[in-house]
Amino acid sequence: MLICVLCLALPGQWAFGQKNTKSVEKALTALLRPTKGKVASITAGLTDKQLAQIIEKLQAENAALERQIATQQTVREKALAASRPAVFRALGAKPYTQSFSGTIFKTTYQGKEEIFGAVPMHLLRSEDFVPGTLSYKFTAGVNTPEGIRYLPVWVVQISSAKTGDMALVKFRREDESLLSPLPLSPQAPTFPQQAYGQGYANNLLSYQSFQLVGQTSNDILIAQIPAVQLGERAGFCGSPVVDEQANLAGVHVGSSYEPQDPVKKNFFAVFNLSPVKVENGDVGYVTPVSYLEKLVASYHQPTAKLFPVTIAGHEITRLKANEYVSRVELLDKNEQVIWKKQTNVKVSYTAAETVLRLHPQAVYVRLYIGRSHWVKNEKGWYVEDTDDVSSVLYPLPPAVLQK
């Protein structure tokens, strides 16, 4: 948001004359707030009329900035108001201590409109930092025309927390008339692009500004978001991120923090995150609607391999919805490993692209494929990841090697 720094306390009319210079200088000083010496140097040699023209120009620029701010605030408020009914509270095993966010959206599959909910996959993992947060079936607190209704939902399709980090949920058919799903944005995001998110951070509905600035190799959107202390956004994952027309651009699935802070640096180490930098603030990760559409297609076609793995812009292979790349190795012409790395949450195999430029002798890439799957324990059904279920060696195509 633009911040106006000009003062508006100016006389409404100006009387031009030889004795009016002091009053003009006084008004200019109030407007610009520099030192008196600087005002004197700025106004030296100028006539009253020239000074008045400067002030009028500054007033016009200030008014334009104010209009721009007001317009942006109006756009933001409209977008948030339109998307608010599509936010739901996902209530886990301990609903009175922590709730999480979810998004209701609609899409068309083979000519038929369908309604789904979306929650982050990492909320379903039994091994995450809040074990067993959500199960196969949980309760959603939905904002309906009749007020908040608590409805049962079922997880119908999972992906992996290391790729799109999204799970689809379904409501009962008789409850769908109570829902206000968001339409998917018809266009791919451009960069930079202003967007807005809202969800339940620490059980309170709040909003967050998102400046979309790029994406990772597995198409997760990278956003610049305001910096906060670690834990202040707890529960915000799963929130809808909408464009200025209140179309769903994606779903917020996580944040990374400024790594210079010792506490935040330890956070990176514990969760094996690779720092991604933005100019100011923290990094927000957003799963785009294109991924949601693929996840809906995989719900209807469980065995289809719809999710591409790309390195340096070239598609290497495709995965099922619940599969992920758990490890990447680069090999030379003799199939000797010259580099290897476990993949990171959200950023995935982006690092391999950088390493390719440092190791031109790489000829092959070996991908180890992991799988997310349901397991049952004493608390219910949760998701576990099994790394290195299989591996395949691929010759790197010439287009990749030339880069």
Nearest Cα residue to 309 out of 162, 124, 123, 156: 162
Q: State residue 46's pLDDT score.
A: 77
| pLDDT one-digit tens code per residue, 107-116 | 999 999 999 9
**92 part of a folded domain:** yes
Q: State residue 332's pLDDT score.
A: 93
Least confident of 31-45, 82-96, 128-142, 287-301: 31-45
Q: State residue 42's pLDDT score.
A: 62
Please state, in angstroms and rounded to a whole number, the distance separating the CA atoms of residues 121 and 136: 11
Residue 151, SS3 per DSSP = strand
Please state, in angstroms and rounded to a whole number, the distance separating the CA atoms of residues 284 and 236: 11
**7 part of a folded domain:** no
Q: State residue 272's pLDDT score.
A: 43
Which position has the token pair 């799988």? 371
Say yes or no: 312 and 340 in one domain: yes
| pLDDT one-digit tens code per residue, 223-276 | 999 888 878 888 899 999 999 999 999 999 988 765 555 554 554 444 444 556
145 has pLDDT over 50: yes
The confidence band for 164, taking pLDDT boundaries of 50, 70 and 90, is very high
**261 part of a folded domain:** yes
Say yes or no: 311 and 391 in one domain: yes
Say yes or no: 203 and 159 in one domain: no
- Count of structural domains, the chain: 4
**13 part of a folded domain:** no
For residues 281-306, give the mean pLDDT: 95
Residues across the chain:
403
Say yes or no: 390 and 310 in one domain: yes
Please state, in angstroms and rounded to a whole number, the distance separating the CA atoms of residues 197 and 246: 10
The confidence band for 343, taking pLDDT boundaries of 50, 70 and 90, is confident
Say yes or no: 111 and 160 in one domain: yes
**326 part of a folded domain:** yes
Final residue of a structural domain among 128, 156, 183: 183
Say yes or no: 169 and 234 in one domain: no
For residues 378-394, give the mean pLDDT: 88
**3 part of a folded domain:** no
Q: State residue 267's pLDDT score.
A: 46
DSSP string, 167-223: EEEEE-GGGGGG--PEEBPSS---SSEEEEEEEEETTEEEEEEEEEEEE-TT--EEE
- Other Cβ atoms less than 10 A from the Cβ of 313: the count is 10
**101 part of a folded domain:** yes
pTM over 0.85: no
4 has pLDDT over 90: no
Final residue of a structural domain among 267, 289, 311: 289
Q: Which residue has the higher pLDDT, 5 or 271?
A: 271
Say yes or no: 323 and 346 in one domain: yes
Residue 102, SS3 per DSSP = strand
Domain with 144 in it: what CATH number? 2.40.10.10
Q: State residue 335's pLDDT score.
A: 95
Least confident of 122-126, 249-253, 317-321: 122-126
For residues 282-293, give the mean pLDDT: 94
6 has pLDDT over 60: no
Say yes or no: 37 and 113 in one domain: no
21 has pLDDT over 50: no
Say yes or no: 124 and 107 in one domain: yes
Q: Which residue has the higher pLDDT, 243 or 359?
A: 243
Say yes or no: 126 and 96 in one domain: yes
Domain span at 32: 18-83
Least confident of 67-76, 299-308, 332-341: 67-76
| pLDDT one-digit tens code per residue, 221-232 | 999 998 888 788
The confidence band for 300, taking pLDDT boundaries of 50, 70 and 90, is very high
Say yes or no: 89 and 179 in one domain: yes
Task: Please report the sign of the dihedral spanned by the C-alpha atoms of residue 110, residue 115, residue 120, residue 123.
Answer: negative
Final residue of a structural domain among 152, 183, 214: 183
**225 part of a folded domain:** yes
Which position has the token pair 């699935």? 253
Q: State residue 10's pLDDT score.
A: 31
Q: What percent of the chain has pLDDT over 90?
A: 46
188 has pLDDT over 70: yes
Say yes or no: 393 and 335 in one domain: yes
Q: Considering the chain, what is the average pLDDT of its residues?
A: 81
